[in-house]
Amino acid sequence: MRILSACLLAMMSVALLGPVPARAVAPDEVLADPVLEQRARDLSANLRCMVCQNQSIDDSDAPLAKDLRVLVRERLVAGDSDGEVIDFLVSRYGEFVLLKPRFSMHTLLLWTIAPVMLLIGAFVLVMKARRRTVAGTVGEPTGLSAEEQAALDRLLDKGADGK
């Protein structure tokens, strides 16, 4: 019973000490209007920190991320829609500011390369499996020709007479 409770305690402490998403939004950045604040959080969760690059501006402590969070909130307070805020940031920082890039002609390769490579890999695997199957059936003996059978009989007769 003690072992079970010790294991349970260990699992609970690991769960409590596990990674928790850290929000870098400072209290002075939070908007008074909860609806606008939620929109700002939703937008900033999808915007890339230009310093950290693989973190959203909502999770980053970098000064530029703070500036972007403040800018998003200012644009929302000014009455911009979510799309207008995104378009403003993309026009200023480029498509790289988006954690999930939009589908367009210049991102076509980005969106299509993974499925294409998956299809190529599946095709290569199927072709290798077929070759292995075909190679296995081609190498199997189909029987001896009349000439080969006669030569074999002669050798076997010599062997039987020699004993």
In a domain, 39, yes or no: yes
Segments in the chain below pLDDT 70: 1, 4-29, 134-142, 161-163
- Co-location of 24 and 94 in the same domain: yes
Torsion of CA 52, 56, 62, 67, to 10 degrees: 130
The predicted pLDDT at position 95 comes to 84
Q: Does 114 lie in the same domain as 85?
A: no
To the question of pTM greater than 0.85 for the whole model, the response is no
Q: Is 71 inside any structural domain?
A: yes
Residues 39 and 109 in one domain: no
Residue 77 sits in the same domain as residue 30: yes
For residue 1, being part of any structural domain is answered with no
Q: What is residue 124's predicted lDDT score, i.e. its pLDDT?
A: 95
Residue 133's pLDDT is 72
- Residue 86: CB atoms within 10 A of its CB come to 19
Residue at 152 is within a domain: no
Examine residue 46 and state whether it is found in any structural domain, yes or no: yes
pLDDT value of residue 22: 47
Domain residue limits at 68? 18-102
63 and 116 in a single domain? The answer is no
Task: Say if residues 115 and 123 touch (Cβ distance below 8 Å).
Answer: no
CATH of the domain at 63: 1.10.8.640
pLDDT of residue 43: 87
Burial of 80 (0-12, 13-18, 19+ CB in 10 A): middle
Query: Which residue bears the tokens 């190529």?
Result: 120
44 and 80 both lie in a single domain:
yes
